[in-house]
């Protein structure tokens, strides 16, 4: 690529304000200011979402809150990393957020960095501790890197920082969690069975072994620095292994040539680890990451920055070329981009030389850096927005590649907070940045492009108007920008500080239902699981109003007619399921209520007992109430008397169809959508069978049964499916290859898409990905318990293994 030079520090100055909010211009994407309370002049209202999750321990480290792409929130605490997974539950009628909580415990043993042999290290520690030079002995005794056990000092427990990988890095296609403890142990964890986190590798141990093998030299030409008995060398070896921050890159895809000259895509991801001495170790992992054997390489870069504090990946796409670099910030103030040379990664480009974004040593430490890819509407090209929290200010830098090279425009946004910024997060979809200070004030910064560079409209969100008096310790925005997670403790009451601190993770909305629905309809991702925060807003609205808004139904029907993508059918299925749940009453409202129907029947049928007209009227009322309660619990009975339609307003009491009929109608619509999605996936499975099988080849997929199932419905007239089935039947050459029951060896007919029943009554559930009967005690299930799938076996060919890696065909959830 062209040489990257800074074009200057010009550009449009950022807006600065005092106590009043700046007026929003007509070009602003969010035209009004943000308020926590209702106001006619504000477009966005921050609304509290229940529940608030109480933490068992206090938070620790810098930026203790992080939100992953697969909708898991990690909170670094003094004893563990609390992980809160947001689910858009289709089986619950409650309006609260559905959160699945797990934890990554802190290691029980302390971390000792490997700076030499055990005997040599023990001798040096004793020598330094008993040194008569106080600059040596006191420095050694008080440095927690040298003495993580602490002895008389409090133990270094807890986590310093955590970072989520991109989606698709673990064995289930989800995110990995890199965790850095207070005693400098860097580990990578995966949640493979949803209930337990597993440590895959200890990178601190691996890196220490590599340095020990090379005698703590980064290159072969580097001369030896001295013996471990020298205190300066002892400090150097610790400093080059003490992590400060770590960040994941995006996924790189390369092609690998196999022995039969076939090409297969191999994914890899990079993890950059910033050390105390300014060095950066760039780890390359092959995907899916399963452990130490997945480590491809490790390269160390010397940044030349003193007292490094934070780093972030710079990833830029220009003319179909992807370029990367590392943005490093210092505790003294400077910020610069470093090139990352990785020759082993094909199609990977980087800078020719470092680019300084801010060079003043102004003693304003860089606390956090975010890099946001954007599109410049005036220059008609891609650009990168780099924002960094420095004290109470936000430093921004716009990077734009032109024919002259790399253009750099930078400035500072002032007047945001009266206290230093403790946390910063960014919505990478629209470039909105959020900052917070400890006084409970959050600022929303919206970038607005100008002819030369950009400016910011910043607006205030007062959390005190949402949660009351609180202190904030960290914020994180959801992947699609629908929610803001906030760590809070009690604030001052009547001028007094609270006696105890209760740390909580609370959630506020950043989008309205209409904005979430529009974003789902126009989504380029077309995956419901990757947009759980948006679907949860839609779910909340339907459960509150007990109906699907008309504009959403009409827009979705138009999308289905014009596009026909299965994504919109899955979205329709989601809406119908939530509508069905909104019409159900919770069991606590129904199950405890006594039924008087039997009592009334006994009284009326008893001999010698007369009944007046009032008794008959009371009996009918009781029967109606009891049957209505029963039909709300069970779907299989039909009431004889009409009940009020909960979809309508309570004031409209006349001419409504019974509730049970409404439920049956929605259930029939759900079944129809599920059948459509099943047929579409069956066509995909049959297409894979046709492409990857020879004549009369038997596979684990019940091909003939799937074909017969598709052709059995006379009302299903899909010419594509009929042509495909004709080609497959011709290739099968009159062979059927039926499935057999493993218990009685009888044939398993394919009459149901969900289960297979043999003639002796043995029932086996079917895998929703391959439609094979799961005749084993162990199988997988999707995240929302929507469907089941079998485990891949070593005998399965690659194309079947690819099918088994797919998400749920109904809800897009991963399968465990």
Half-sphere exposure of 118 (CA within 13 A, CB side): 0
User: Interhelix angle for 118-129 vs 231-239, to 10°?
Assistant: 120
Res 278: pLDDT: 93
Alpha helices, DSSP H, located in 32-99: none
Res 161: pLDDT: 96
Label residue 33 by pLDDT band (50, 70, 90).
very low
Res 347: pLDDT: 65
Half-sphere exposure of 281 (CA within 13 A, CB side): 25
- Which tokens hold the place of 775? 């005749």
Label residue 89 by pLDDT band (50, 70, 90).
confident
The lowest-confidence range among 24-33, 120-129, 345-354 is 24-33
- Which tokens hold the place of 142? 């008080």
Find tokens 């604030």 and name the residue.
491
pLDDT digits (tens, 9 = 90+) for 694-733: 877 778 899 999 999 998 888 788 888 999 989 988 888 8
Res 150: pLDDT: 65
Preceding peptide of 465 cis, ω within 30°: no
Instruction: Tell me the percentage of the chain whose pLDDT exceeds 70.
Output: 84
Q: Which of 346, 503, 508 is nearest to 425 (CA)?
A: 508
- φ, ψ of residue 584 to 5 degrees: the values are -90, 145
Nearest-angstrom CA–CA distance, 684 and 528: 20
Nearest-angstrom CA–CA distance, 740 and 777: 17
Mean pLDDT value of segment 687-694: 90
Nearest-angstrom CA–CA distance, 675 and 686: 16
- Which tokens hold the place of 357? 């974004």
CA angle 472, 477, 481 (to 5 degrees): 140
* pTM exceeds 0.75 for this model: yes
DSSP run (H or E) holding 460? strand 454-462
Nearest-angstrom CA–CA distance, 251 and 287: 9
Residue 6, pLDDT above cutoff 50: no
Residue 59, pLDDT above cutoff 90: yes
The lowest-confidence range among 104-108, 472-476, 572-576 is 104-108
Nearest-angstrom CA–CA distance, 466 and 443: 15
Res 379: pLDDT: 85
Nearest-angstrom CA–CA distance, 574 and 576: 6
pLDDT digits (tens, 9 = 90+) for 773-802: 998 888 899 888 888 899 999 999 989 999
Instruction: Tell me the percentage of the chain whose pLDDT exceeds 90.
Output: 56
Label residue 147 by pLDDT band (50, 70, 90).
confident
- Which tokens hold the place of 348? 């990977």
Res 500: pLDDT: 87
The lowest-confidence range among 58-72, 259-273, 323-337 is 259-273
Res 445: pLDDT: 95
pLDDT digits (tens, 9 = 90+) for 726-781: 998 888 887 888 899 999 999 999 999 999 999 999 999 999 999 999 988 888 99
Torsion of CA 18, 23, 25, 26, to 10 degrees: 160
The lowest-confidence range among 358-367, 549-558, 634-643, 667-676 is 634-643
Res 593: pLDDT: 53
Q: Which of 667, 647, 753, 633 is nearest to 705 (CA)?
A: 753
pLDDT digits (tens, 9 = 90+) for 376-418: 998 888 899 999 999 999 999 999 887 778 889 999 999 999 9
The lowest-confidence range among 405-414, 491-500, 572-581 is 491-500
Res 24: pLDDT: 33
Mean pLDDT value of segment 564-589: 86
Alpha helices, DSSP H, located in 108-255: 118-129, 134-142, 203-213, 231-239
- What is the residue-averaged pLDDT of the chain? 83
Residue 38, pLDDT above cutoff 70: no
Res 394: pLDDT: 96
Beta-strand pair 348-350/321-330? parallel
CA angle 505, 511, 512 (to 5 degrees): 120
More confident residue, 275 or 229: 275
Distances from the Cα of 740 to the Cα of 689, 762, 772, 775, angstroms: 20, 11, 11, 10
pLDDT digits (tens, 9 = 90+) for 190-211: 998 888 899 999 999 999 999 9
Q: Other C-beta atoms within 10 Å of 94: how many?
A: 12
More confident residue, 628 or 360: 360
Residue 7, pLDDT above cutoff 60: no
Q: What's the helix, strand, coil split of the chain in %, to 5?
A: 25, 30, 45
Strand partners, 441: 462
Mean pLDDT value of segment 119-123: 90
Label residue 629 by pLDDT band (50, 70, 90).
very low
Buried b / exposed e over 77-89, threshold 16 CB at 10 Å, is bbbbbbbbbbbbb
Q: Other C-beta atoms within 10 Å of 53: how many?
A: 18
User: Which H, E and C letters describe 617-645, residue by residue?
Assistant: HHHHHHHHHHHHHHHHHCCCCCCCCCCCC
Q: Which of 368, 337, 373 is nearest to 353 (CA)?
A: 337
- Give 304-354 as a DSSP string: --SSEEEEEEEEEEETTEEEEEEEEEETTS-EEEEE---TTSTTEEE-SS-
Res 498: pLDDT: 85
Res 453: pLDDT: 83
Which of 12-16, 20-24, 472-476 shows the highest mean pLDDT? 472-476
The lowest-confidence range among 110-114, 672-676, 746-750, 754-758 is 110-114
First to last CA, the chain: 43
DSSP secondary structure letter of residue 67: E
Contacts by 25-33 with C-beta closer than 8 Å and gap 24+? 25/448, 25/457, 27/448, 28/446, 28/448, 28/457, 29/430, 29/446, 29/448, 30/432, 30/444, 30/446, 30/457, 30/459, 33/459, 33/460
* SS3 at position 560: helix
- Which tokens hold the place of 330? 């210092």
- Which tokens hold the place of 115? 């700076």
Contact 803, 685 (CB under 8 A): yes
Nearest-angstrom CA–CA distance, 687 and 200: 37
The lowest-confidence range among 69-83, 278-292, 312-326, 360-374 is 312-326
Mean pLDDT value of segment 675-693: 93
């Amino acid at each position: 690529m062209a040489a990257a030079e800074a074009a200057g520090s010009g550009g449009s100055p950022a807006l600065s304000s005092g106590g009043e909010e700046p007026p929003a211009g007509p070009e602003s994407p969010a035209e009004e200011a943000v308020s926590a309370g209702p106001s006619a002049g504000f477009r966005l209202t921050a609304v509290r979402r229940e529940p608030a999750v109480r933490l068992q321990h206090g938070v620790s480290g810098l930026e203790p809150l992080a939100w992953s792409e697969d909708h898991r929130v990690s909170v670094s605490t003094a004893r563990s990393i609390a992980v809160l997974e947001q689910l858009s539950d289709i089986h619950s009628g409650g309006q609260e957020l559905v959160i699945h909580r797990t934890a990554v415990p802190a290691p029980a043993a302390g971390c000792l960095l490997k700076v030499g042999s055990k005997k040599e290290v023990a001798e040096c520690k004793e020598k330094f501790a008993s040194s008569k030079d106080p600059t040596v002995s006191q420095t050694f005794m008080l440095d927690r890197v040298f003495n993580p056990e602490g002895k008389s000092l409090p133990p270094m427990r807890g986590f310093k920082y955590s970072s989520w990988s991109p989606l698709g890095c673990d064995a289930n296609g989800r995110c990995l969690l890199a965790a850095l403890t207070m005693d400098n142990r860097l580990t990578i964890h995966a949640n493979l069975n949803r209930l337990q986190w597993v440590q895959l590798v200890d990178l601190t141990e691996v890196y220490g072994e590599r340095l020990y093998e090379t005698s703590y030299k980064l290159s072969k030409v580097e001369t030896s620095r001295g013996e471990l008995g020298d205190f300066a060398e002892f400090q150097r070896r610790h400093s080059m292994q003490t992590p400060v921050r770590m960040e994941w890159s995006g996924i790189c895809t390369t092609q690998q040539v196999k022995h039969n000259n076939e090409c297969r895509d191999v994914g890899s991801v990079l993890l950059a680890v910033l050390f105390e001495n300014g060095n950066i170790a760039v780890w390359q992992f092959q995907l899916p990451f399963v452990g130490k054997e997945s480590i491809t390489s490790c390269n160390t870069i010397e940044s030349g920055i003193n007292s490094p504090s934070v780093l972030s990946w710079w990833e830029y796409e220009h003319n179909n070329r992807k370029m990367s670099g590392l943005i490093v910030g210092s505790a003294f103030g400077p910020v610069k981009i470093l090139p990352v040379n990785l020759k082993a990664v094909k199609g990977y480009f980087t800078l020719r030389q470092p680019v300084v974004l801010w060079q003043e040593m102004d003693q304003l430490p860089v606390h956090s850096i975010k890099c946001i890819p954007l599109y410049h509407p005036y220059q008609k090209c891609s650009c990168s927005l780099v924002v960094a929290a420095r004290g109470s200010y936000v430093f921004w830098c716009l990077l734009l590649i032109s024919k002259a090279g790399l253009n750099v425009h930078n400035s500072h946004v002032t007047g945001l907070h009266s206290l230093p910024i403790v946390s910063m997060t960014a919505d990478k979809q629209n470039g909105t940045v959020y900052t917070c200070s400890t006084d409970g004030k959050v600022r929303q910064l919206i970038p607005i492009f100008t002819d030369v560079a950009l400016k910011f409209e910043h607006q205030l969100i007062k959390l005190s108007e949402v949660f009351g008096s609180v202190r904030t310790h960290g914020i994180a925005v959801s992947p699609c920008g629908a929610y803001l997670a906030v760590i809070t403790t009690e604030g001052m009451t009547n001028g007094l500080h609270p006696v105890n601190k209760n740390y909580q993770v609370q959630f506020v909305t950043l989008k309205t239902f209409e904005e979430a629905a529009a974003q789902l309809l126009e989504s380029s991702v077309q995956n419901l699981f990757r947009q759980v925060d948006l679907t949860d807003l839609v779910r909340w609205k339907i459960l509150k109003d007990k109906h699907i808004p008309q504009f959403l139904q009409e827009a979705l029907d138009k999308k289905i007619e014009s596009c026909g993508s299965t994504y919109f059918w899955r979205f329709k299925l989601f809406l119908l399921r939530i509508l069905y749940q909104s019409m159900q009453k919770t069991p606590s409202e129904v199950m405890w209520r006594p039924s008087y129907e039997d009592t009334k029947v006994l009284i009326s049928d008893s001999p010698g007992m007369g009944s007046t007209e009032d008794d008959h009227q009371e009996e009918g009322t009781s029967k109606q109430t009891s049957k209505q309660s029963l039909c709300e619990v069970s779907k299989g009975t039909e009431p004889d008397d009409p009940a009020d339609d909960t979809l309508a307003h309570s004031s409209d009491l006349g001419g409504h169809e019974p509730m049970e009929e409404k439920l049956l109608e929605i259930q029939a619509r759900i079944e129809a959508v599920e059948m459509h999605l099943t047929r579409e996936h069956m066509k995909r499975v049959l297409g894979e069978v046709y492409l990857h099988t020879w004549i009369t080849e038997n596979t684990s997929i019940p091909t003939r049964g799937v074909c017969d199932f598709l052709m059995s419905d006379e009302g299903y007239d899909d010419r594509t499916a009929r042509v495909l089935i004709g080609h497959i039947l011709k290739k099968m050459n009159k062979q059927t290859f039926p499935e057999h029951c493993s218990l009685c060896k009888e044939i398993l007919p394919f009459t149901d898409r969900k289960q297979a029943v043999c003639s002796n009554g043995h029932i086996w559930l079917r895998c929703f990905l391959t439609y094979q009967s799961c005749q084993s005690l162990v199988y997988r299930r999707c995240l929302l318990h929507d469907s089941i799938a079998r485990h891949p076996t070593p005998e399965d060919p690659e194309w079947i293994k690819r099918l088994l890696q797919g998400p749920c065909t109904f809800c897009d959830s991963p399968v465990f």
